Structure 1
Amino acid sequence: MSFIPWDSLTAMFYEQSAKLGDKPLLFNKKDGEWQSLSWKEVTDKVTQLAAALEKMGVEAGDRVVLVSENRPEFMIADFAIMSIGAISVPTYTTNTARDHLHILENSKAKASIVSTKALARTFLKAAHQSDDMQHCILMEDYQIEQRLNVKIYHWDTVVDAEVPNTAKYAEKARSVSRDDVACLIYTSGTGGAPKGVMLHHGAILTNSEGASNVIHELGLENNAFLSFLPLSHAYEHTVGQCWPIGLGAEIWYAESIEKLATNMAEAKPTVMVVVPRLFEMLRTRITRTIQKEGGTKAKLFERALELGMKVQRDKQKLSFFEKLENWFLTRTVRKKINQQFGGRLKALVAGGAPLSPDVGYFFSSLGLPLLQGYGQTEAGPVISVNPPSAPRMHTVGKIFKDVEVKIASDGEILVKGDLVMKGYWRDEDATAKTIVDGWLHTGDIGQLDDEGYLEITDRKKDLIVNDKGDNVSPQRIEGMLALEDEISQAMVYGDRRPHLIGLIMPDVEWMADWAKKHNKPRKYEELQEDADFKKAIGEAINRVNGRLSNIEKVRKFSLATEAFSIENEQMTPTLKLRRHIVCEIYKDTLEGMY
């Protein structure tokens, strides 16, 4: 089986539905039980909602905002919008009313679809102020006490209406071309006001085709995806929703990140779209659990890891007796770990942030194929991914088929192909700066090796230049620090300075264990002043320093407060704006360390 080169996402959906009919497509949990919707049932709901939007006056090219967590209704709404040629505008569920208003004013959306009461409460404050927003469909009952400038509908009343002629929308899907805009994905705003990335059908289909070509060796049939990353992000939207539909796969919606482990065991996914931070935490938990149990179990685990590293990382051959030993460990230790992930995993595709090679080798040594990829929203978003049969953990893999990549004279990665966005919505200046002569300027620094593997070294605007003019990559150092058991988050600083200094946020679990073991106060505020505690953190930093060059070593450090943890701002540790915010918070502390 191969991925069919459809002309549009909607043509793909309707053709797959006609072929797969009564087979299950979407799964979610209600009242403690998993419930499924077949391809036919989903298609009926898509066409019902599409017809309702048409009655509201939504036409081809109009924008429809979608505010929802991951659930079946998200996919239904997304494809209903595209079925009438309109443009879907998924937004972050963490948006404030001000964020929503910016998107409404920029996109000039005519209609909206919102899931929960809490999300509706925030969104409607913005919708009421918008001159263009006319209609809002709510998935849940919500009592509106004040008259709004927006007409409110309930999901059940518009979706449970009589099923319209599905053939009409299937036929309309054929008129949509690969060049037509499918959705506007707004950037998180870390580089200024959020910009609407115009992703056309071809960009997402190119991503899907490329992903299929890479994992073809693992089998493209009988797949199940577990969706838990936000569908408002291009990564999950493309790889966790559109690609599975093209494969004819099942999509299971996780209940929450807290219940992810339980959901994996129940859904038994074959593919998961993940972020590195999740597996950094899982590695720490798995290792600590095994160490606490000790005994034979710990020894077998360490041996499985040792032999796996010998093959995966060191590329060495096993002796005859090591092969027998490894065979036994695969059927015991590795099998048990794999069962915790459902027992059917073919690939864990990591993206969205840098993956430490150590983390990748750790999981691959235990029989879990963790494949790092690379991309950005403006490229649909995936540009490359490691092949399962020959991953190189220090790289982000090989470039997708029919995608061109070249390295500019200053080291910047440039990308060309059908995956590149149409531009930023209503922002010609930003578009002209980002796409030059058809080449997408990614802002990332990297290099291609002789076999076509791409390695990312840093962000173009995020290099630290010390007082001697040396360029230092903070991303690499921060990633190494965060892998130490003692450290949860780290930021290094040293632009135009003689050496690097660090801000460290200790790991909560390690901190609690350390305090108990050494009979110290449990409160972080008190531990911050404890000399022994600081010494323990310093030892972790020194371990990392031992693997760094002189200009990369962290010479001094300070312990950060909870203000350092700003994960919910959707900023990765190496983004310049995040570094600026943290530096402002700790300005006096940083100056005091020099």
Structure 2
Amino acid sequence: MEDIRAWTSLPGMFFDQAERLGEKPFLVARRQGEWRARSWRATAEQVLALAAGLSALGVGPGDRVALIAENRPEWAIADLAIMTVGAITVPAYTTNTVADHAHILANSGARLAIVSSTALAMRVLAAAAEVPARPDVILIDSPFAEAPPGITRHLWDEVLGRGRAEGDFAALRAGVRALTRRHTACIIHTSGTGGVPKGVMQSHGSILHNCAGAARLVHDLNRGIDQDEVFLSFLPLSHAYEHTAGLYLPIAIGASIHCADSIEQLAANMLEVRPTIMTAVPRLYETMRSRILKGLAKSGQAKRSLFSAALRLGGRRLDQRGRLGPLDAIADRVLDRLVRRKVHERFGGRLKAFVSGGAPLSPEVGRFFLSLGVRILQGYGQTEAAPVISVNRPGQERPDTVGPALDDVELRIADDGEILVRGELVMQGYWQDPVSTATAIDAEGWLHTGDIGVIEADGCLRITDRKKDIIVNSGGDNVSPQRIETLLTLQPGIAQAMVHGDRRPHLVALIVPEPDRVAHALGSRPGGVVIEHPSLKAEIAMAVEQVNARLAPVERIRRFAVLAEPFSVENGLLTPTMKIRRHLIRESHAEILDGMYEDRATARAARSRVDAM
């Protein structure tokens, strides 16, 4: 295993690995119906050519370059090229609205944006036209997208060609050698408690630090034997989790990266690619578990009985740290062949581990897969920590915890229960926001995570609550409920709103209508908790749709309930300063909130069928 601690920059690590690995496949994507690989050497040549092209366009050390594209080889090439010239990558989600892009471009002061498809280019070009310092735009594969006045448009192939013709590659490599672990590598925007995205400055050292800790896990998975790993990348590379664990960790260990066709094609891609390691968020595991149980419900009694036995014995083995009695051990080995091997084949047959992060994984879901022999290593982190802080170790999985801290990471629990983190992984601060930076990182260098937890006797961290109000859905997306609630209450007819969705696949809302709308619809205040009056619900639905039209997909409200009683100081659901008490509202309206996610009677019946097998 390479000593990742010896590298001083991300492009320096990449070029060293490219020199060592040469013609071995590195970046793989489907083109014209076939998986086609770029070797390490070919990728390095493209990185240098693009870096030279960026330099010819005036991009230099410290400049910010926005990157908006789907997961594809060009994303990695652009990211590495930006850093090769000493500039700073500013990734942005492909799902961002024009307003989101405009904020990121303006906040970062990006002098250039690299964009892939025509649809994305239209939004980014519109955003670029709104910011004071209009950036140039490089279009990867949208040559017909017209740029607004004042914005210079470049084509990807032309920039590469210019770089090949004019580039001083020796000077570029010398510049890479001059980079240190303290230089800023990227600015990744994440939502703050006020809803305004803040730019997290991650250094080369913070990401390398993460890679070193994660590489230790891979080493343990392989029991100390270096092996060629195959990653299947489908989470957005603009997400800090995938940026580190899905791009730079594979570079650090010399793995190949396959870019998934789409989330819809992921199951088929796993069978084709046969990955050995995958990073994913809880939503994927929840979906897979649901599909497995639905398929099981259609099976015969014998198959259901075997599956139930595999779950039961696997859970017992998990609880007893691998120790089973003689008869159970024999039965368990038989179930490995009859049940678990078939489950394993659904993921390609070579998978050593899923790494779960980006949001909390339900212990029930984690236990389900571990009992079936599918290893899920749940971790914990945040963008401000590059982003991995802790993760379960192979062979020591505890689905109720997020494992011990990575190597060389200090963890401490503050007097109020907040989890504090210190080490090279901690961000340099929020871009151009010293006040928020001082709030997040104290004078002793401790990052205040905003999460509440305890450190168990074995060193594993267990998250117990959230100190901050940011919603992290089961896909790992950070969403500010306050922003959405403000937009809702600005709509005619809505007096109050609370948005809910932490650890859930989508957002729902509790909505209190204005009293006059209730009186007009019903004549008097209803006696029930939830108002089901058709015309009033239809009016609220129209208001919700008006708000949804202004939001990114992950921020949209999928379902809502109309409440009869408002949140008030008297009923304890408002503070004296008129702020909603989220935890109390969630407790008092738990049944309503849960009911907007599933048919609980059906879910209970399904669980009973499985338990009875």
Q: TM-score, with normalisation over the residues of structure 1?
A: 0.79
Of 276, 281, 292 in structure 1, the residue corresponding to residue 282 of structure 2 is 276
1:146 CA displacement: 6.0
Superposition deviation, residue 171 in structure 1: 2.8
Deviations 1:185-241 (A, max 9, x none): 001456421110000001101111111123321125311111111111100001000
Q: Which amino acid aligns with 1:81?
A: I
C-alpha contact 2:52 2:172 (8 A) present in aligned 1? no
**1:516 counterpart residue number:** none
Q: Which amino acid aligns with 1:442?
A: T
Q: Give the CA deviation at 1:143.
A: 2.4
Match of 1:290, SS state, is helix
**Alignment partner of 2:227 out of 215, 221, 230:** 221
Which one of the candidate residues 431, 456, 465 is aligned to 2:463?
456
Q: C-alpha distance in 2, partners of 1:556/1:453? A: 42
Counterpart residue number, 2:104: 103
1:371 has 2:374 as partner: no
Distance in 1 of aligned mates of 2:37 and 2:77: 13
Task: Give the match's secondary structure for 1:196.
Answer: strand
1:423 and 2:405 aligned: no
Extract structure 1 runs of 4+ deviating beyond 6 A.
501-504, 555-567
One-letter identity of the residue aligned with 2:303: K
The residue number in structure 2 matching 1:264 is: 270
Structure-to-structure mapping, 1:41-52, within 5 angstroms = 41-52=42-53
Could you tell me how far 1:315 is from its partner in structure 2? Answer: 4.4
8 A contact 1:20–1:39 mirrored in 2: yes
Preserved contact between residue 221 and residue 247 of structure 1 (Cα < 8 Å)? no
Deviation at 1:381, TM superposition (A): 0.5
Contact kept in structure 2, 1:45 and 1:160, CA below 8 Å: no
Give the Cα separation in 1 of the matches to 2:202 and 2:101: 20
Amino acid at match of 1:71: R
C-alpha distance in 2 between matches for 1:188 and 1:142: 33
**1:457 Cα deviation from its structure 2 partner:** 0.5
Q: Which amino acid aligns with 1:431?
A: T
Q: How far apart are the structure 1 equivalents of 2:107 and 2:464?
A: 34
Cα displacement string for residues 261-292 of structure 1 (whole angstroms, at most 9, x for unaligned residues): 00011111111111112111211110120121
CA contact (8 A) 2:530 2:563 kept: no
Equivalent residues in 2 for 1:81-480, closer than 5 Å: 81-145=82-146, 147-161=148-162, 162=164, 164=167, 166-188=169-191, 191-219=194-222, 220-313=226-319, 315=321, 317-437=323-443, 438-462=445-469
For 1:190 and 1:125, locate their aligned partners in 2 and report how far apart those are by CA, in whole Å: 27
Distance 1:43 1:235, change over 3 A: same
Matched with 2:578 is none
1:487-506 aligned at under 5 Å gives the runs none
Given that 1:228 and 1:253 are in contact with CA atoms closer than 8 Å, whether structure 2 keeps it comes out as yes
**C-alpha spacing 1:146/1:65, structure 2 compared with 1 (3 Å):** closer
Alpha-carbon distance in 1 for matches of 2:294, 2:280 = 22
Mind listing any 5+ residue stretches in structure 2 that lack a counterpart?
A: 475-497, 506-527, 568-587, 590-613
Letter in 2 for 1:4: I
TM-score in terms of structure 2 length: 0.77
Number of the residue aligned with 1:547: none
SS in structure 1 opposite 2:298? helix
Distance 1:21 1:267 in 2: 21
- Identity percentage over the alignment? 47
Query: How far 1:394 moved relative to its partner?
Result: 0.6
- Output the CA distance in 2 between the equivalents of 1:266 and 1:403: 37
Which residue does 1:482 correspond to in 2? Answer: none
Which residue number corresponds to residue 520 of structure 1?
Answer: none
| Separation in structure 1 between the aligned mates of residue 260 and residue 352 of structure 2, nearest angstrom | 18
Contact 1:264 1:341 in 2 (8 A): yes
Cα deviation code 1:457-484 (max 9, x no counterpart): 1111359xxxxxxxxxx99xx99xxxxx
Partners in 1 of 2:92 and 2:76 — Cα distance? Answer: 14
Amino acid corresponding to residue 132 of structure 2 in structure 1: D
Does residue 4 of the first structure (1) align with residue 4 of the second (2)?
yes
**1:341 aligned counterpart, secondary structure:** coil
Higher deviation after alignment, 131-140 or 266-275: 131-140
Trace 1:510-521 onto structure 2 (pairs within 5 A).
none
Aligned residues: 505
Q: Distance in 2 between matches of 1:340 and 1:590?
A: 49
- Gap runs ≥5 in structure 1: 464-473, 480-500, 509-554, 572-577
CA distance in 2, matches of 1:503, 1:186: 22
Q: Matches of 1:60 and 1:586 in 2, distance apart?
A: 52
Aligned-partner SS, 2:197: coil
Q: How does 1:535-550 map to 2 (within 5 A)?
A: none
Matched residue type, 1:588: L
Partner deviation per Cα, 1:52-78 (whole Å, 9 max, x = no partner)? 100010110000000111111000000
